[in-house]
Amino acid sequence: MTVSENVEGLDIRRLSGSLGAEVRGLSLRDAGPTEAKRIESLLMDHQVLLFPDQHLSPDSHIAFGELFGKLESHPNLSLGGERPEFFELRAFGGKGAIADEWHSDLTCQEEPSVIAILHMVKCPSVGGDTMWANMYKAYEELTPPMRAFCEGLSALHDAHAHGHPENMAIHPVIRVHPVTGRKSLFVNEHFTRRIVELGHEESDALLGFLTSWASRSQFTLRYHWSEGTIAMWDNRCTQHCVLNDFEGERVIQRVTVMGDVPEPAEPPRWSPGIKPVSAASRHDRQLNTFLKKQVSGGFE
Ligand SMILES: O=C(O)CCC(=O)C(=O)O
Ligand SMILES: [Fe+2]
């Protein structure tokens, strides 16, 4: 792919060697199903799209999001009222709502978010950049034995960081993208707690490696915002993180396209790595609780 191209009136400029493109020449306020198809295809190619100078009202933002599927209300952040699917995050001087840990959105849910559409309403002149990382590459650049091993594993995710450790889900460590058919790494620092099939010490070691591997510089894009820019990213094959290094105010608004159940690259190959009861059993408690609830059908 070239650095910059002009396709049917759209100016598309790649932003890093790994992922991301800035797109100009399209008014998202006026977009309909035809434009949505083009944008979706660009998103599959680049994983993250940035549209500068859009300045969407909340209603136009919601209408644009609805072109890509049903929108979800955020379990913790929704403003409620008439627009439960629309929310705003405000931070001042690096304090407040800053997502400064690598993650893919809401992997603590059975159906994690698919596409996020974010509007930068107010941003600091320096700092507060967002970084994204390409999880296809994070998978593809593992060695064949590591890829094969990870393909047989699943991981427990929870919403501990959001004050809801009881919200949990198990997902494949390597998932297959339902549109592109490509495999990607699907564990993240913020939500992923435990590799199900490994003992807790092994899980800590592998998760430590995979989560730092996922954010290696060469898989990433770092974007400096300007007000009115719309970002759109595919949570199925990327992770993101905000740099908490700014003074002044940072305000974003967001809608989210509802999720699907991640498809595993391979069915899980081993049973859970829970050890017999011992002094160390506290390390298995959370996984045990989740698995028992799943078996009894009692997990909501
Ligand atoms: O503020 C940002 O740039 C991204 C925040 C975030 O993690 C999100 O909206 O999912
Ligand atoms: Fe996020």
Q: Which residues does the annotation mark as catalytic? A: 103, 105, 240, 254
For residue 253, the Cα-to-chain-centroid distance in whole angstroms is 16
Name the residue with the closest Cα to ligand 1, atom 10.
105
Q: Which residues line ligand 1 (CB under 6 A)?
A: 99, 105, 116, 118, 130, 240, 242, 252, 254
pLDDT higher than 70, residue 298: no
CA of 293 to the centre of ligand 2 (A): 28
267/154 Cα distance (integer angstroms): 9
Per-residue pLDDT tens digits for 170-218: 999 999 999 999 999 999 999 999 999 999 999 999 999 999 999 999 9
Which of the residue ranges 76-85, 87-96, 252-261 has the most confident prediction, judged by mean pLDDT? 252-261
For domain 4-134+223-257, give the fold: Double-stranded beta-helix (3.60.130)
Give percent of the chain with pLDDT exceeding 70: 95
Q: Where in the chain is the domain with CATH 3.60.130.10?
A: 4-134+223-257, 143-214+264-296
Q: Where are the alpha helices (DSSP H) in 175-284?
A: 200-214
pLDDT in the model for residue 98: 82
Phi/psi class of residue 236: alpha, beta or left (left: φ > 0; alpha: ψ in -120 to 50)? alpha
Q: Which CATH architecture has domain 143-214+264-296?
A: 4-Layer Sandwich (3.60)
pLDDT higher than 90, residue 279: no
Structural contact between residues 50 and 61, judged by C-beta atoms closer than 8 angstroms:
no
pLDDT in the model for residue 299: 40
Mean pLDDT, the chain, rounded, equals: 93
Name the residue with the closest Cα to ligand 1, atom 8.
99
Structural contact between residues 74 and 46, judged by C-beta atoms closer than 8 angstroms:
no
Site to probe by mutation for ligand 1, drawn from 109, 252, 253 as the one with most ligand atoms within 8 Å of Cβ, is: 252
In the chain, helix, strand, coil percent, each to 5? 25, 30, 45
